[in-house]
Amino acid sequence: MSKIIEFFNVAPSSQEELPSETSLPLTFFDILWLRLPPVQRIFFYEFPHQTSLFLNTLLPKLKKSLSIALSYFYPLLGHLTWPNDSHKPMIKFIKGNTLSLTIAESHADFNHLSGKNLSEATQIHDLLPNLNISHDQASVLALQVTVFPNCGFSIGITSHHAVLDGKTSTSFIKSWAYLCRNLENEISESESPLCLPHEFCPFYDRNLIKDPDELEAKYLSDWLKQGGTNNRSLMVWDLQVPEDSFRGLFKLSLSDIKKLKEFVVSKQKGTRNENKNLHLSTFVVSIAYALVCRMKAEKIENKNVVMGLNIDCRNRLDQPIPATYFGNCIGGRLAIVETSELLGENGLIVAVEVLSEALETIKNGVLNGAENWSSWLLEGLTIADVKTIGAAGSPKFEVYSTDFGCGKPKKVEMVSIDRTGAYCLSDSRNGDGVEIGFVSNKKSMEAFASLFAKSIGA
């Protein structure tokens, strides 16, 4: 268990430049995720020194750089609320708002928690802060730094899904890291604050998000019907971690990925599907391979499998928006396939084909079918005889480049997938391929690990 050392309420460094009060309305992209559980991620860093050295050297830099970062990302200090006079929720910021930063110490086995062996899913939960969420309002972000004496430290981030998607969350923590590693060694109040490079600065103009098909009204209506009539509650789903859940992180090297692509191409030659337009991207091949291994390991008996894919819409809208847009801008596609096909001899080929078919529809418009997205979220877990799996994260986020001045993370873990059953994809620490994380029962995880290691190219 972690022991709390101290709580900080961190304020932005440039209060005078911030508005005294402002609100940021949710778009349909945000409303889609209104009551989903918070997204949780942990960054593990090596720091083989005593706690006192960490508290006296690195912690002041973490705090000061966080304060500067919050001057740019000030909506993170606000609260999600749904005023009675507003037809939709909004983020409300008032000057004087602060961000919760918890400092803790843990005597757990750092090398085990930050290693690649299977571990109990809940072992790392106490390295994360909780968001304050009620029916009336919700915190947007909370942070926890946990020191492992003479070993390292972790940074746990918990963010509200209706405010931040993975790209925005990653942009914030990488901005914080940039500022931290560029601070001078001597911390003093007289220093002029660092500036965040333009390419990191968040973009807040929500007028660029057009809604000609009235998706906002559709999503709001669907949420208002959940749990009663005109239910404006902001309480999120209380999804529980299944018993006997174990967490695993598996790597596909660039060589492995190349081998899988070559295998798919060779198997497709001479078949009736030879001319199908396959998306032989690293993302598709990795997800397809993990999906087939998982179906076999978990011995799935559902008739059908649905793979939900998240699509970054920023550069795919009719009027593209900046990559630094603050908020959710994620769409979805579903790949549906019979389980028996995935378990068959050509399971990997089938998986690549159905994922490719789903992604091919983006050409018809990334918002094509968006009127059904809220129904997928609300009903996807209850469809009879269907195994639904999602995919979170992206290797493009390059989370392993998040350096606070003491090197790359030893490990980056998406913790919240233990409640949703989703995969998490990321880059790898040494840049050689991708990492795939997911959670299942111990027996299935052991079977998956064996299949994953042995079946490449088979």
> Is 403 tagged catalytic?
yes
- For residue 136, which amino acid is it? D
What six digits make up the tokens of 210? 């057009």
Helix (H) or strand (E) holding 247: strand 245-252
Q: Which residues of 385-396 are buried (b: 16+ CB within 10 A; e: fewer)?
A: eebbbbbbbbbe
Please state, in angstroms and rounded to a whole number, the distance separating the CA atoms of residues 334 and 21.
40
> Which amino acid belongs to residue 253?
S
What contacts 399, CB < 8 A, 6 or more positions away?
41, 43, 170, 393, 409, 412, 426, 427
Which residues have a Cβ under 8 Å from the Cβ of 20 and sit 6 or more positions away?
Answer: 94, 95
Question: Residue 417: in which H helix or E strand, if any?
Answer: helix 417-420
Q: Given its phi and psi angles, is residue 203 left (phi above 0), alpha (psi -120 to 50 degrees) or beta?
A: beta
Catalytic residue among 126, 136, 312, 403: 403
User: Any catalytic annotation for residue 161?
Assistant: yes
Give the integer Cα–Cα distance in Å for 419 and 412: 17
Q: Which of 30, 161, 256, 418 is catalytic?
A: 161
- N residues, the chain: 458
Residues 6+ apart with CB under 8 A from 248: 118, 437, 438, 439, 440, 445, 448, 449
Largest CA distance in the chain: 71
CA dihedral 61, 66, 72, 77 (to 10 degrees): -160
Q: How many CB atoms lie within 10 A of CB 441?
A: 16
Q: How far is it, in rounded angstroms, from Cα 168 to Cα 199?
A: 13
225 and 231 Cβ atoms separated by less than 8 Å:
yes
Structure tokens at 141: 């972000």
Instruction: Please tell me the distance from the alpha carbon of residue 96 to that of residue 109, in angstroms, as a whole number.
Output: 38
Active site residues per annotation: 161, 403
